[in-house]
Structures are given as C-alpha cells and as structure tokens.
Structure 1
Amino acid sequence: MDPLKCNAAVAVVGAGAMGAGIAQVVAQAGHPVRLLDQSPGAAARAVATIDQRLARQVAKGRLDEASRQAIHGRLQPVEHLHELRDSALVIEAIAENLAAKQQLFAELEALCTDDCILASNTSSLSITALAAGLRRPQRLLGLHFFNPAPLMALVEVVPGLASDPGIVQCLHQTLLDWGKQPVRARSTPGFIVNRVARPFYGESLRLLQEGAADCATLDALLREAGGFAMGTFELTDLIGQDINDRVTCSIYEAYYADPRFQPSLIQQELVAAGHLGRKSGQGFYSYAEGAQRPPIQQLHSNAKISDCVLEGDLAWAMPLVQRLEQRGIQVLRRDGPGLLRVGDAVLVPSDGRLASQRARDSGQGNLVLLDLAADYQQATRLAISCNAGIQPHALDQAVALLQQAGLQVSRLSDTPALAVLRTVAMLANEAADALLQGVASAADIDLAMRLGVNYPLGPLAWAERLGLGHLLQVLENLQGAYGEDRYRPSLLLRRRVAEGRNLHD
C-alpha cells in the first residue's frame, strides 16, 4: 500500500506529553490533525503548548512564521469522539491500561469507516490482545513513538498476529514521509527498546544493592567509560522511578518471572516512599534547590611510572596500550597470556570472574581487573577491582599507570565483570535473544537502541567488537559467579560462536 496522502485527516486520542508530541509531528508533516482528550479543555491546552514550542523555534531561526501558522492551523482540538469519524488514521496515546485501550478501539471501530487505520502508541502491551475483540483486527497495529516525539526519530512499528501486511507497509512508508525512522518489531513484551534496555537499569541497580559502588560513581562510569549519555540513576530519576519500575514489572510478569527482568527492591522502596526522581524533588539524587551531587569515588596516586610490560595481547583492551604509549609510557612487549605488568601489579581485562578467583586460578598475588571502555582513546574514567590481599603499593602502581594515561580511576568491590563490561554484556545478550526469537532484525535492533535510548553503539555491534567468544566467556563466568539463570548466555550467541559467525551475518 502507498503511504497516507498528505491531506488525509489523522486523529490523536490522548493529549498528554506523548499525544501532543505525536500531534505536532503529524501536523508538521502536513496532515490536518484532530486532537482529543477525555479531560475537558486538555486538547486545547495541548495545542496552545505546541504553538508555544513552535514560536520558540521561530525565535531561534529554526522555523519561519508562515510555517508556524500553517502547522497551528492544521491542529484542531475536539471534545467528542464522533468528531473523529472521517479520519484516515487514529493514533491512540492514552494511559497504559489494556481494558481502557480495548474499549476505545471498540468505539472507534464502530464509529470510523472500514478503511480507517487504527494504531496504538503502547510501549509494552500486546498489539494482538488490543485487536482481539475487534470485528476487523487486521487494521490495528502499534506505532510506538519515543518522547519527545517531535525530536526523537525512532518509531517502533509493531504488527499483531492479525495485522494486515499492507497496512504495516503503508504506515512504514508514511513514517518515512514524516521524517521518522521506523523499525519493525514483533508484538512481544517491551518490543525492542523497552525489552533490550532492561539490563542497563537492572545491572547498576544490582551493583548498588550489593555495595559495589555508590550511585554517583556507577553513573560516572557508564558516562565517562561506557559512553552512555546518562548513568542509570540519573536517567531513572529523569524518567520517573515509578514509570521505570512499572515497565520493568510489566515485562517481568509478561515473561513469566524470567529472572533476567527481575525488578529491583531498591527501586520499589523509592517508589513506596514517593521518591520518584526529578518530578518529586527526590530520587536517587536530591533535586532540592542548592542540592549538590555526591562526590564520585576515585583513587589517586602520586607515583610516577615510566614503563610497563605487555605480555601477549589484551584483546579488546589493546587500545589502552596505545593510549599509554601516546602519553609517553614505554611499553615493553613480550609473549605471554595477555596482561600488563607495572611494578608488582598485574593488570588484565575482566573476563567476568571475581578478581580473587582469578588471582587464585592464575597464581597472581597483586591482580587488578580492568573494566571495559567504549573508546579507550576518549574515555576519561575507568573502573578497576582487585583481589583480596593485594599489596597497597602494587595497587598504587596500577592507579599511577592509569592516571598517567589521563584516566580517573574508580575502584569497585570485587564484583563479577565490573560495571561497563557487565552492562554491555547483558545488553548484548538480551539483544541476541531478541534476534533469536525473531523480535526484529539485527540491523533494526541496533538502530532502535542507538536512536531510541541514545546508546553509543548498537548492542549487537558492540558484541562483535568485543568478540563473541570473549562475550560468551564473560556471561558464562557471570553465571558461574552468581549461580543464577539471569546470566544465562543466549542460545544464538553460543550458536554463532560455534559456527564462527557474527550476529549480523
């Protein structure tokens, strides 16, 4: 099917932040838009807010006044459902309640013509379930926009079991005409982004619960080493602890209590206390006037290091060696098992084992494990962990070496796979399982995670950069350390390692 014609009327039901944002997108694309909300006056207030946003764009020179007026003229707030009867497309953006959405779609089906397309902006509910009670379920599918809709390019296009492929193609092409980047996803809990992103939240929450480090330090590591735009705790404070917890609980329940999606007791306690983040003034951090962030925990050394010894290959951490050399550290190379020696310290990239276990296995008494960095040339911070009983002077030598490379060093307790490596490994593992289960293509999974949540790399591409064999080893060691099914490696990952193929093949 062809995309919707530009003069086709589009209705949006729900004038909250998402509904108003979607209405703005559609009006900017040239469609007449009718905006409806059950709360009297809400649609008119939303249109006024949209106009204020557009006026700011004019003031900044990003939009001309004639365009602003044209867009505003295409936005019509309405108060009654029957005013949507001649719409070519109706996009539902009401609260995440299955029964309420089903009732709305039943009313729309009775009201609108048979060729009207129905779409839901649900972020996690089953499209198949939403359409199940309709006379013509084939005309309903999911269009999951991301907030703020006018700025975020990604839209997940989610057909249910009954959705007409022609309608799916029509809306895919329509979204391209609207300047959006559509990705296809099966109607499974969380679709792509909300499912694959769960480990980003879950692993930091678990590290906090285990006392591996504090919020500020873990957030700094994900930003300054992992390359993520925000750390877990500042991001969930922005999203709202109640919203983030509700999505996690929904996916956990939908997957029949799979431990990979287990909610956090710490987050649930915040919600119970009303500490919801920025909107309540208190979450993991305080947002009271004048409140300051807690300090980031880091080590410091006054020692000066002139050289170190590289034995073998450090695998994905080899760019760190290049950075050392660029900073004037002489690196002596010789054969070996893949480690750096500086004084009495031995530095190795984490493979998911505890530092103390690895020291015992290798016979190395002063072992320092290195966390992952998205880009060792650009990172400003790196996490380390050490075996129990490491000599203080050896730890100081390791810290001095990393400092001279221009890195701040944050020490975690002896925890499997540290912070960034653990997070990336679990994101990649979840993405691999989504690929295995046919939720989306490898390209769409990576694109969705880059555009939808601003990850520096798609998780599948990141897995291939690390090496699938290394990633599998990290996950197996994580699972061995915890003895939990939460860390089970994806069958697809095992299969591709056995085949010698990548995830995008």
Structure 2
Amino acid sequence: MKDIRRIGVLGAGTMGRGIIQLFAQSGYEVYSYDAVDGAVAKAVDFVSGLIERAVDKGRLKREEADVTLARIIPCSDVAEFAGCDLVVEAIIENIDAKRAVFEMLEGVVASDCILASNTSSLTVAEIASACKHPERVAGLHFFNPVPLMKVAEIIAAVRSAPEHIAALKTLIESCGHRGVVAEDQPGFLVNHAGRGLYTEGLRIVEDQCASPEDVDRLMREAAGFKMGPFELMDLTGLDVSGKVMSSIYEQFQQEPRFRPSPLVAPRIAAGLFGRKTGEGWYRYDNGQRVDSPTAETPALAGTIAVWVDPDADQCAALGELVSAGGARLVEQPADAELILIQPWGWDVSIYCAERDLDARRCVAVDPLPGLDKHRTLMISPVTEARCRDAAHALLGQNAAVTVINDSPGFVCQRILATIVNIACNIVQRGIASVADLEDAVRLGLGYPAGPLTLGEQVGGERILAILEAMELQTGDMRYRPALWLSRRVRLGQTLLTAEAPRSGRG
C-alpha cells in the first residue's frame, strides 16, 4: 500500500481550501495550485486566518500553527506537483473539465501517484477514462466545511486498484475523519442515502397531507432530526437540491424510489431557492426565517365520550390522557363521540373501513414517536371538526400537537420507512458495507442514528409493515420493500445482520 506524505490539491475554492487545511493540520505537506490568478493566495490567507483564530482562542499553540502553515506550499505551476504521492482535484462539477485535468496530471506526476476527484455527483469511472492508468484514479468526496465534517467518501471506480482505495482510507483516518468506502454509483453513499428525507417529504406535501412547516416540525420534534427536509432544501438551495434529485433519478434509470416531485420545478423557475434568495419554502427577513404562528390548542367543549381502540399500541396511556383531560371513556365505539386509533402504515379512511368504524368520529394518533414527544393527529376527509378539536384539546394539554390530513403512515412513519428502505437497498446492492453506511449517514447527514439503526429502533417488522401498507394503498412502486429488509424480517434477524459469505465464486 502506498505511503502518502506529499499531497497536491488542484483547485483553491471553498472545497479546495478546506482540503488544504485538513491535510496541513494533519501533518502532510500540501501543494496548492489553481489556474485562476490569485486564487491560491486567497486560499492560503483564508486558512491562515482560521489557524490564527485558533491560536487566539487558545485551541492551538503558536509553534503548532507555524509548523502547520509552513506545510502549505503555494504553486504557480501544476508541474510543481511532480513529487506528490496524491493529487486531489477540487474544481467545478463539469465532466469535460475534470477529464482534461486528469489527463494533464498524468503527464506531470509519477507513475505511482494516486489521482483523486472530489466530485460529488459525476461518475468516477468516466473521469478516469481519460487516463492511461485508470487504476490509479478514485473518488475522494469531502463535505463542507471539510475540517469539521468528520467523514469523507472514498469512491472505488470499476478499475480503481484496491491498494489505492486502502491507502486513501488510511490517509483519511489519519486526519481524524471517518473514511467510508462506496462503489461508483449515483449519489455515492451520502447523497444516495439522503434521498428518502427529501423525496418523501415532498410527496407528503404534494398529497396535501401536511404543510412544509408541519413536516419539518414533526421530523425535528417527533423523529429527533436536526432539520426537516424543507429547511434543509432552503439551506442548501433548491436549485442545487433539485438538480441532485433529478440527476440521481435519471442515473438510476428512473427508479421510483427516487422520483422527484413536480412541486420543485415551478419554484426553481420562480427563483425561490431558499436562504440565499430570501425566500424558498420559508420566507427570510434579514437572514432570519419567518415562521407561521403556532395554532392554539382548542378548548374542550364539555365532557365527551371517547373510545380508544384496544389494538392501539398506547391504548392504556391514551386512555389515561383523555380521562385526565376531562373525557369519559366508553367500552364500545358505537357509544363514543370521539374514536381514537393508532394505525401503522394505514390512513384513517382505510383503517376505519376495514374495522367498520365511523370515520366521521375518528382521529388517529401516531404511535411511532411515543406520547411523550410532539404528537401527530390525523383526520379522514370526513372527520367532523368537533371531533378533531376535541382530540386536539384532550391531547394538546401537556404536549405540542400537529393535525394533518389523511396519509398512509402519517409523516414520521412515511419518511423513516422510506429512509430505512433506501438504506437497505444500498447494502443489498453492495454499494457500501453496513458499518460504512451507518457512519456516513450519521456523520454526513447528521441523522440521529444510522438508517439501519433507525429501522431497528422502530422495528424491522414494523418498517416492513408500513411499507407494505403504503404500497398497497397507493399502488406506488416507490414503497416496495428492499430484499435486505424483507429477508431479515422473515428470518427474525436485525437489519444490521451482514450477508453470510459465499464459499466460492462462480
């Protein structure tokens, strides 16, 4: 395996300067070149400023800072990369430009120098096809800001030499980052695994089940995510997110799981990109998001008779809550003015029809988050306003409540099941190992846990049931369960169970 000591970074923009800083701080000599006049000097000044700030705040000793800065070597000509063990390209996302750069680098560096692209969306094999020795080419995808985002994707193209992939992994982990290895597939690992949050969030809004603000609030306060899909799209820019969604869908041969929403194109056309344009899914005033006022909890109009479905996961706890709120529990649904149910994967309408319950008096409570978190109430198209308001009054006295329209799987069930399903398909296809997938999503996307762990927390059998119910109700192939998921559930195994090794090949 190649020992990497000298690293060239071609491209001194936002990503390039972050890569320069990471490697210099980690003890490597870093040669920096950019074809744009003054770009390298600006990058060095930027990195120097960050390091000086660390000294001023006492996080770094003066001597360490001086040594780090001395490792950064500005280059006026790409020929100065001749002695590098690795060159990382970090230029614009344009296949022709990258192919030209790699073809040029082969004429500069030694025969054993590794060439890596920081591409986030282009096929590494296509970049490598310009080279006489494509086995030396790999992807090395960092996330912004590079020194703080503690993960990097190492992309093994079809002709990448295994020893070079191993050398890159050793390098990345010597920098204190987690190096995750992924096959050269659309979206690689992080962008691929992150599709479910966006696409299913958009589908929920498209179906008029909930507003973007409701979806974000529930994913934060009920599911435990740092951000919901719409505030994330506003942060990254819908112009960027929209292109990625369309690109991955097309590159995966229009796989239904990645189908983009028709809600996106009109908003891009209108220039509603998010924070950078002052308006996206939200409006921004001087950079601060303007949220809608929170709906007030209605008052309970007198005593009401309530029947709680005995099949509800939290039947006893719901009974205690509504009793404490002033309701009277009854033993038969025919005697109730309000019916409370807790379906998994089903909407109110079908659940009531299957059980001969009166949908006009029925309100569903999402069992997934637990009753100690933000509560989701779901109504059918015919649920009476008095029943909706009574349920809100009873369950909103000691917790926040969001009311949504009929939706198979509420909001959290739908999005989590989609995230888990896509993750299961990633490991089923061998795009990444279970461990690399889990860490990549947790570190790269900031999810509360890896996607397969999230599935285990809900329960693999439950995730499978949600997907099967959603597929049956909608007829949409986007919800078909991955084989990884269905096999492990049928065998009573966890979603983290690896494939048994084959005894031979062929």
TM-score (ref. length: structure 2): 0.89
CA contact (8 A) 2:307 2:331 kept: no
After TM superposition, the structure 1 = structure 2 runs for residues 274-285 of structure 1, keeping only pairs within 5 Å, are 274-285=271-282
AA in 1 matched with 2:351: R
2:383 to 355, 377, 390: 390
Tell whether 2:458 aligns with 1:461: no
Shift of 1:256: 1.2
CA contact (8 A) 1:359 1:387 kept: no
Residues in 1 aligned to 2:261 and 2:189: alpha-carbon distance in whole angstroms: 21
Residues in 1 aligned to 2:432 and 2:289: alpha-carbon distance in whole angstroms: 42
1:181 to 172, 178, 181: 178
Shift of 1:156: 1.3
Residues in 2 aligned to 1:49 and 1:289: alpha-carbon distance in whole angstroms: 26
- The aligned counterpart of 1:364 is 357
- The aligned counterpart of 2:502 is none
- The aligned counterpart of 2:504 is none
Residues in 1 aligned to 2:385 and 2:337: alpha-carbon distance in whole angstroms: 10
Query: C-alpha offsets along residues 273-302 of structure 1, whole Å, 9 cap, x if unaligned?
Result: 222222222222223438652315546133
AA in 2 matched with 1:371: D
Residues in 1 aligned to 2:92 and 2:221: alpha-carbon distance in whole angstroms: 36
- The aligned counterpart of 1:55 is 52
After TM superposition, the structure 1 = structure 2 runs for residues 460-479 of structure 1, keeping only pairs within 5 Å, are 460-479=452-471
- The aligned counterpart of 1:255 is 252
2:208 to 194, 208, 211: 211
Report SS of the residue matched to 2:107: helix
CA separation of 1:435 and 1:331: change in aligned 2, threshold 3 A: farther
Shift of 1:425: 0.6
Shift of 1:73: 2.0
Residues in 1 aligned to 2:26 and 2:319: alpha-carbon distance in whole angstroms: 47
After TM superposition, the structure 1 = structure 2 runs for residues 343-362 of structure 1, keeping only pairs within 5 Å, are 344-362=337-355
CA RMSD in angstroms comes to 3.1
Residues in 1 aligned to 2:100 and 2:23: alpha-carbon distance in whole angstroms: 24
CA separation of 1:74 and 1:290: change in aligned 2, threshold 3 A: closer
Deviates more, 1:238-247 or 1:257-266: 257-266
Tell whether 2:446 aligns with 1:451: no
Residues in 1 aligned to 2:431 and 2:423: alpha-carbon distance in whole angstroms: 9
CA separation of 1:331 and 1:192: change in aligned 2, threshold 3 A: farther
Deviates more, 1:454-463 or 1:482-491: 482-491
Report SS of the residue matched to 2:378: strand
Deviates more, 1:211-220 or 1:455-464: 211-220
CA separation of 1:33 and 1:500: change in aligned 2, threshold 3 A: same
CA separation of 1:210 and 1:31: change in aligned 2, threshold 3 A: same
CA separation of 1:402 and 1:68: change in aligned 2, threshold 3 A: farther
1:36 to 33, 38, 42: 33
Identity over aligned pairs, percent: 34
CA contact (8 A) 1:298 1:408 kept: no
CA separation of 1:209 and 1:299: change in aligned 2, threshold 3 A: farther
Shift of 1:367: 2.5
AA in 2 matched with 1:350: P
Residues in 2 aligned to 1:451 and 1:335: alpha-carbon distance in whole angstroms: 49
AA in 1 matched with 2:82: R
Residues in 2 aligned to 1:93 and 1:243: alpha-carbon distance in whole angstroms: 18
- The aligned counterpart of 1:138 is 135
CA separation of 1:335 and 1:129: change in aligned 2, threshold 3 A: farther
After TM superposition, the structure 1 = structure 2 runs for residues 221-300 of structure 1, keeping only pairs within 5 Å, are 221-289=218-286, 293-295=290-292, 298=295, 300=297
AA in 1 matched with 2:416: V
Query: C-alpha offsets along residues 321-369 of structure 1, whole Å, 9 cap, x if unaligned?
Result: 49978x9789999999xxx999643333332222112111112223322
AA in 1 matched with 2:50: R
CA separation of 1:456 and 1:323: change in aligned 2, threshold 3 A: farther
CA contact (8 A) 2:306 2:338 kept: no
Residues in 2 aligned to 1:450 and 1:416: alpha-carbon distance in whole angstroms: 27
CA separation of 1:480 and 1:313: change in aligned 2, threshold 3 A: closer
CA separation of 1:208 and 1:297: change in aligned 2, threshold 3 A: farther
CA separation of 1:416 and 1:9: change in aligned 2, threshold 3 A: same
Where structure 2 has 5 or more consecutive residues not aligned to the other structure, the ranges are: 498-506
Shift of 1:2: 6.1
CA contact (8 A) 1:428 1:460 kept: yes
AA in 1 matched with 2:268: V
Residues in 2 aligned to 1:492 and 1:85: alpha-carbon distance in whole angstroms: 46
Where structure 1 has 5 or more consecutive residues not aligned to the other structure, the ranges are: none
Shift of 1:431: 0.4
After TM superposition, the structure 1 = structure 2 runs for residues 420-431 of structure 1, keeping only pairs within 5 Å, are 420-431=412-423
Residues in 1 aligned to 2:60 and 2:371: alpha-carbon distance in whole angstroms: 40
Shift of 1:103: 1.4
CA separation of 1:237 and 1:391: change in aligned 2, threshold 3 A: closer
CA separation of 1:24 and 1:464: change in aligned 2, threshold 3 A: same
2:431 to 439, 458, 474: 439
- The aligned counterpart of 1:201 is 198
CA separation of 1:157 and 1:335: change in aligned 2, threshold 3 A: farther
Report SS of the residue matched to 2:278: coil
